Amino acid sequence: MDYEKVLLDLIKPIVDDKETVSVKQMESLDEDEILLYVYANDDDVARLIGRKGIMASSLRQMMSVAARNERAHVTIKFEAY
């Protein structure tokens, strides 16, 4: 499964500047972990995290469901530039 594309498809409707948002899958020391970084501008990262992290938690939960077939753990980190 292309986790980068799945997460990008989930976050693009939420952000204002769709062209500047990107998702990169990084290597993890744990072979059962899928590590995803979301890069966006400050305002869009704030929107993706949401109040008290509600949006971030929801995105993490949806991606965990997507990774369930592969028995993998998804970690999502948000980075602003």
Number of Cβ within a 10 Å radius of residue 78: 19
pLDDT digits (tens, 9 = 90+) for 29-72: 999 999 999 999 999 999 999 999 999 999 999 999 989 988 99
Identify whether the C-beta of residue 76 lies closer than 8 Å to the C-beta of residue 7: yes
Confidence at residue 72, expressed as pLDDT on a 0 to 100 scale: 92
List of domains in the chain = 3-80 (3.30.300.20)
pLDDT at 6: 96
Q: What is the pTM of this model?
A: 0.90
- CA separation, residue 10 to residues 6, 28, 31, 40, 71 (Å): 6, 22, 24, 14, 21
